[in-house]
Amino acid sequence: MVTRSNSCNFNNSFHPVMSMKFDIDKFDGSGDFDIWRRKVKALLSQQKILKAIERPKKLPDSLTVEQKADMLEMAVGTIILNLSDNVLREINDEKTACDVWKKLESLYLTKSLTNKIYLKERLFGFKMDASKDLGKNLDDFKKMTIELANGGQGCH
């Protein structure tokens, strides 16, 4: 688990300010990508730089060119700092936050027809495991439904 407390963000007038302390595990390729993705998006939102992955070409006109560059740089840095070395090697050729994000989604989001069929079979064949408590069984079921519902989000 990584603890960071000195990252900057852009407030309503887009001046860097210090953010709150937060904890987030680095994504190593074997964990739950969707949960990690939601946490990083929340972090980018807190830092007021989520637009760098959602709409990098439509940043507010009120920002200077330098502020836009800072936002984009901060977003890619935030994403990279939350990845393990092995995952970082897989996205090494990507330069922008949007491109890094799209590459991660293409690698780790379940999109292919084969994977969706497999997930549907697992979901429809799901049975409670008696060796697990009810909460763990429900978590496993919910994870399957989330994985099945996931779709990629591109940058606009």
9 within 8 A of 48, measured Cβ to Cβ: yes
What residue spans define the domains of the chain? 2-108, 112-156
Residue 116 has pLDDT above 80, yes or no: no
**pLDDT attached to residue 38:** 92
| pTM higher than the cut 0.85 | no
Residues 6+ apart with CB under 8 A from 36: 24, 25, 27, 82
**pLDDT, position 111:** 62
**pLDDT value of residue 131:** 96
pLDDT (tens digit, 9 = 90+) per residue, 62-108? 989 999 999 999 999 999 999 999 999 999 999 999 999 999 998 88
Tell me what pLDDT residue 109 has.
79
Model pLDDT, residue 17: 44
**Higher local confidence (pLDDT), 37 or 8:** 37
- Per-residue pLDDT band for 43 (boundaries 50, 70, 90) equals very high
